[in-house]
Structure 1
Amino acid sequence: MKEYQTITEISGPLVFVETDEPVGYDEIVEIEIGDGETRRGQVLESASDHVAIQVFEGTEGIDRDASVRFLGETMKMPVTEDLLGRVMDGTGQPIDGGPEIVPDDRQDIVGAAINPYSREYPEEFIQTGVSAIDGMNTLVRGQKLPIFSASGLPHNDLALQIARQASVPEEEEGSEEGSEFAVIFGAMGITAEEANEFMDDFERTGALERSVVFMNLADDPAVERTITPRLALTTAEYLAFEKDYHVLVILTDMTNYCEALREIGAAREEVPGRRGYPGYMYTDLAQLYERAGRIEGRDGSVTQIPILTMPGDDDTHPIPDLTGYITEGQIYIDRDLNSQGVQPPINVLPSLSRLMDDGIGEGLTRADHADVKDQIFAAYAEGEDLRDLVNIVGREALSDLDNKYLDFADRFEEEFVDQGYDTDRDIDETLELGWDLLSMLPKDALNRIDEELIEEHYREEETAEEVAAD
């Protein structure tokens, strides 16, 4: 342990210290200020004669007389299965009034990269209970599937719905004994009101029992946001790869995380990249997102749903742009659908799950899943195009089939997408609802579905006699 009283500069969340010997990058630091208070920090930049330290609790009150101790180790997360049901702050300290955590191990928050050769290909279905995701953009174990939202949209409601409803159907059927399901919820830069909403929902629904919650609030130091997702992912990796849990990690809001990176970069006087964000933001985000996956020989898995709010609803902004490059698709929250009262307002057309086709189909969910999904996409896209045409020529100028496509688009949004935040649909319910909608169209329009499946699932219109009898 090395101790110095050689602070030369304090800039924003950073403290610069002169040293007489090299200090390790990412090394943990304790700064003791005049009243005996101790704050923790981390070495952000190291040279032969000075270091830059990012202080997690903020630099207010620190002066040049403060003592700086370098502890000779990187930051570690105390991990144990007993973390389930606990609520932590953004630095991993319990804030739920529960007993002190007795860890089984202490693991480096940077994690260990998964050898690509050892990665197992993701192809097992996770059921969120949300039809627009399960039916149209399926989440797969080991996948990273972000939610692209914007300011004022109900992404938090969707995050809570997924957190309490997500399950692994095969596990419930007992096909793989020994693997349980857990949720790691990492919140960065959220307001106290949002934090209370999250906690009330977790406690009301009982979802907290299988969850670990990390809370970094808006009035907490921005630099703390850079470690919160790493603490969450370290906990997830421990539960997945050492305790055989299937872990779903929900991180919100990644925009606040990236703003913290920009703030630290400005304090270090770095040359900015696009829109002032650091040039290394792609690498930094990849270090987080690539910690999702499965490992051969291990039963557990880590699946990620990062949530970000697109500044100005702009999906070409650096944060969603870089996130889209790294992850395997995206779920779009749509402002127009939200204004119509659709809950959750997921626009399935620009949404995408690149691993979906490997996670659905015979033996995985249902044999008709892929065909139903393809046909619904085609019919809904046709209906969306016709809506633009109707604004010009009116519905009277359209054919009977075109009008059916228009009706299909309306009913798809009203019945399939709009299910509310408290409705949990299993995959069978979602696909049966899909068949109800597709049966609005004539059989010869279902050109993306196998004929045998049409004969098995297509709902024929009731005859006049049957209607009269009813």
Structure 2
Amino acid sequence: MTAWGEVEYTDVRELRGPLLVVGRVTGVGWDEFVRITLDSGEQRHGLVLEVDRDLAVVQVLEDTTGMDPAATRVAFAGTPLRIPVGTGWLGRVCNGRGEPVDGGPPVFGSTDAAVGGAPINPVRRRPPAEPVLTGVAAIDVLTTLVRGQKLPVFSAAGLPHLELAVQIAAQSNCGGETFSVVFAGMGLTHADASFVRDALAERAGAGELVLLLNTADDPVIERLLTPRLALTVAEHLAFDQGRHVLVVMTDMTAYAEALREVSAARGEIPARRAYPGYLYSDLASLYERCGRIVDRPGSVTVLPVLTMPAGDITHPVPDLTGYITEGQIVLSQPAHARGVYPPVDALSSLSRLMRKGAGPGRTRDDHLDVAAQLLAALARARQVRELADLIGESALSPTDRRYLALDEAYLHRFLAQRADENLLLDAALARAWNVLLTLPRAQLPMIPAELLDLHGAT
């Protein structure tokens, strides 16, 4: 529990959107937790954004609607916001502030932790290793997610990124080791929030899921708090409870827009596309909280999902995210238009740590060879498709036509799967082999001869 100071300040100078300015304060620090008491006795809470001499700027978590500056009292906790942590979060559904919305009691824990958190000290980091298997063939085979990695999903409006995020949250596992998922939804519609709750009900009922849902009509400040709550809960489950934890955060573009709105309310000078100049460091403060720690059990793996406005990958949010994270999974509009789910663009996607978590002793001996050969074949198929558009398919060589056949086989016999279909890695690799054998043996130089013999390549 927070030990509140005895002093209550009544000199509220201004209410500006979600912000409250308090005057004549002393001994107040940045990021301090705040209790705000209205004339009616209602209590709200906030965080100190800025302190300038005797003025403190407070962001109000529940918004400033209905507040009268002349009748408002403000008390400072003397510490940053802290929340209880522990296994009590598992199986619970809460809003973006961590308050239960499942009809249950407040979440309790044996200890508490500061929500702000901190990136892992590089000296204490263990290299990511071992896979997190998602049950999605395109990810597990071609862009393997590794424990301790940060691997974003880049999408655009109209693509099924939320469905994919929910499927990954519902199906992911670490091969029998203790595993949990923390799902943080930001700026969701009520229909999307209901879909997430229903789709993840089974995992929540099994006590393997923490669900934090911030809807579009919730206060904008809450959206900034949601991913920090999720990561704080995940860090304790991982590094103190010894669990492998996957944190799914969607949609980080909604988070960045909330950050922009608060920045504008503070009167800050905007940078690219009106986002604050500290957008990069703010995103890094979230993404860099994942990883593994030397001499500590468990791991935190982060899968942020973001929508690229107008599909622009150079937009500040995907652009800066790409600098911080270790690869990306890109969803494809053309594949989606053809009715393929999940519409993953394999040639634009990349997991830079895949070789740390896949291959002999980790997944399967042939995994990396099959993935490399399939990507090379898809790249050649794309070139052939462009050539066919220029000269027509009838002018292509027989080998080139085989590559066009491989491209179709990839879409429909490897990539496509149901949104509730959990493919084991062996089944996903079997699909990849089935697609590769569309080509003659001479076109598969990246796979050892003994493996080609074993699978009957001709």
Q: Same fold (TM over 0.5)?
A: yes
In structure 2, relative to structure 1, the CA distance for the partners of 1:239 and 1:157 (3 Å cut) is same
* Aligned twin of 2:268: 270
> Following superposition of structure 1 onto structure 2, how do residues 62-461 of structure 1 map, counting pairs within 5 Å?
62-65=67-70, 66-169=72-175, 172=176, 179-203=177-201, 209-460=207-458
Divergent runs of 4+, >6 A: none
In structure 2, relative to structure 1, the CA distance for the partners of 1:215 and 1:208 (3 Å cut) is farther
Question: Structure 2 regions of 5+ residues with no counterpart?
Answer: none
Question: Structure 1 regions of 5+ residues with no counterpart?
Answer: 173-178, 461-470
Quote how far apart the aligned CAs of 1:102 are.
2.5
SS of residue matched to 1:3: coil
In structure 2, relative to structure 1, the CA distance for the partners of 1:275 and 1:43 (3 Å cut) is same
Deviations 1:185-244 (A, max 9, x none): 001111111000111111256666310000111000111111110000000000000000
Deviations 1:28-73 (A, max 9, x none): 1111112111110000001221010000110111121211111212
In structure 2, relative to structure 1, the CA distance for the partners of 1:56 and 1:118 (3 Å cut) is same
Structure 1 Cα separation of the partners of residues 283 and 204 of structure 2: 32
Structure 1 Cα separation of the partners of residues 119 and 271 of structure 2: 26
Q: TM-score of the superposition, structure 2-length normalised?
A: 0.97
Structure 2 Cα separation of the partners of residues 207 and 324 of structure 1: 35
Identity, % of aligned pairs? 48
SS of residue matched to 2:47: strand
* Aligned twin of 1:7: 12
Q: Which has the higher mean CA deviation after the structures are superposed, 249-258 or 56-65?
A: 56-65
Structure 2 Cα separation of the partners of residues 49 and 32 of structure 1: 20
Q: Does 1:35 align with 2:40?
A: yes
Quote how far apart the aligned CAs of 1:132 are.
0.5
* Aligned twin of 1:23: 28
Structure 2 Cα separation of the partners of residues 208 and 13 of structure 1: 38
Quote how far apart the aligned CAs of 1:22 are.
3.1
Q: Is the 8 A contact 1:202 1:208 kept in 2?
A: no
* Aligned twin of 1:47: 52
Q: Is the 8 A contact 1:163 1:207 kept in 2?
A: no
The residue identity in structure 2 corresponding to 1:131 is A
Deviations 1:272-318 (A, max 9, x none): 01000000010000000000100111220000000001111100000
Q: Is the 8 A contact 2:25 2:56 kept in 1?
A: no
Q: Which has the higher mean CA deviation after the structures are superposed, 402-411 or 17-26?
A: 17-26
Deviations 1:311-359 (A, max 9, x none): 1110000000000000001101111111110011111110110001111
Structure 2 Cα separation of the partners of residues 109 and 443 of structure 1: 56
The residue identity in structure 1 corresponding to 2:116 is V
Quote how far apart the aligned CAs of 1:406 are.
0.4
Structure 2 Cα separation of the partners of residues 96 and 225 of structure 1: 19
Q: Is the 8 A contact 1:223 1:264 kept in 2?
A: yes
Q: Is the 8 A contact 1:436 1:459 kept in 2?
A: no
Q: Is the 8 A contact 2:91 2:204 kept in 1?
A: no
Structure 2 Cα separation of the partners of residues 132 and 316 of structure 1: 24
Q: Which has the higher mean CA deviation after the structures are superposed, 193-202 or 96-105?
A: 96-105
* Aligned twin of 1:465: none
CA RMSD of aligned residues (A): 1.2
Structure 1 Cα separation of the partners of residues 388 and 395 of structure 2: 8
Structure 1 Cα separation of the partners of residues 436 and 157 of structure 2: 34
The residue identity in structure 2 corresponding to 1:29 is V
Q: Which has the higher mean CA deviation after the structures are superposed, 61-70 or 300-309?
A: 61-70
Structure 2 Cα separation of the partners of residues 275 and 380 of structure 1: 35
Deviations 1:247-267 (A, max 9, x none): 000000101110011001101
SS of residue matched to 2:207: helix
Quote how far apart the aligned CAs of 1:145 are.
0.4
Q: Which has the higher mean CA deviation after the structures are superposed, 418-427 or 137-146?
A: 418-427
SS of residue matched to 1:227: helix
Q: Is the 8 A contact 2:132 2:144 kept in 1?
A: yes
The residue identity in structure 1 corresponding to 2:314 is T
SS of residue matched to 2:241: coil
SS of residue matched to 2:142: coil
Q: TM-score of the superposition, structure 1-length normalised?
A: 0.94
Deviations 1:391-442 (A, max 9, x none): 2211110111000000001110111111121111111111111111111111
Q: Is the 8 A contact 2:92 2:204 kept in 1?
A: no
Q: Is the 8 A contact 2:22 2:57 kept in 1?
A: yes
